[in-house]
Amino acid sequence: MVTAEFQRARRPEHKEQRREAILAAARVLATRDGVRTVTLGDIAAEVGVHKSALLRYFETREEIYLQLTAEGWQEWTEALRIALADAEPTPSGGSAVITSTLAARPLFCDLLAHAPLNLERNVSLETVRAFKVATLDRVAAISQLLSDALPGLGPDGGRKAVAAVSSLAATFWQVSHPPETLARFYAEQPDGGHSLTDFPRRLEELTTAVLAGLTAST
């Protein structure tokens, strides 16, 4: 995939193609190997260029992943918009849709933990501002979708639900994808670690509880 062309993109549309190629490579590698393990060098190798070429398009490895996180929020919003239209208007109905749309997006779930802890901390103010503006806009859209779909939730409950669900998804996804040492520990447990590593089940149970609690209290 090495092309001299890649190094010399000058026209805006060519620059955009280069950015897309880099994001596509990062997407493939991080989905396969996990966000944690994929370096800027790995992405450069996948694209077929030297690391320094990437830095003309993105300021850091973290900017690449923040961009994928923003895309994840956008895609999840659209998936929810479609799926919530057919959901049962109850906490368990909403939870089933939230869980299935998140479980179908493993890279986004992986990024949800890395964004606040690592990614947002290694980019410029300009980059983090663009990311947060885009993300908070998606959070507002999802809050609205949820409060429209679930009677009694209300706009405030919708906002709290998005905060809780994205936190739970971030945590449970990491726990359910343990490093090899921890996977061996879980395998030694009476239930084979199932009670800790079954991501969809844990997310759905607690999302139902959160939605039930927020619906009851607002």
Q: Is 187 in the site for a copy of itself (CB under 8 A)?
A: no
Under rule CB under 8 A, how many of the chain's residues touch a copy of itself?
45
- Binds a copy of itself by CB under 8 A, chosen from 168, 197, 199, 204: 168
DSSP string, the chain: ---HHHHT--SHHHHHHHHHHHHHHHHHHHHHH-GGG--HHHHHHHHTS-HHHHTTT-SSHHHHHHHHHHHHHHHHHHHHHHHHHTS-SSHHHHHHHHHHHHHT-HHHHHHHHHHHHTGGGSS-HHHHHHHHHHHHHHHHHHHHHHHHHSTTTHHHHHHHHHHHHHHHHHHHHHHTS--HHHHHHHHTSTTTTHHHH-HHHHHHHHHHHHHHHHHHH-
Token pair of 119 as six digits: 């990614």
Site membership for a copy of itself, residue 123 (CB under 8 A): yes
CB-nearer residue toward a copy of itself: 80 or 206: 206
CA angle 115, 156, 67 (to 5 degrees): 20
Q: Is 185 in the site for a copy of itself (CB under 8 A)?
A: yes
Question: Does 164 participate in binding a copy of itself (rule CB under 8 A)?
Answer: yes
21 or 110, CB closer to a copy of itself? 110
* Among the listed residues 120, 137, 148, 198, the single contact to a copy of itself using CB under 8 A: 120
| Near a copy of itself in 126-155, by CB under 8 A | 128-129, 132
Q: Of the two residues 123 and 145, which places its CB atom closer to a copy of itself in the complex?
A: 123
Q: Does 103 bind a copy of itself (CB under 8 A)?
A: no
What's the full length of the chain, in residues?
218
Does residue 202 interact with a copy of itself by CB under 8 A?
yes
Q: Which is nearer to a copy of itself, 48 or 116 (CB)?
A: 116
Summarize as ranges the residues that interact with a copy of itself (CB under 8 A). Answer: 36, 91, 113-114, 116-118, 120-121, 123-125, 128-129, 132, 160, 163-164, 166-168, 170-172, 174-175, 178-179, 181-182, 184-185, 188, 202, 205-206, 208-214, 216-217
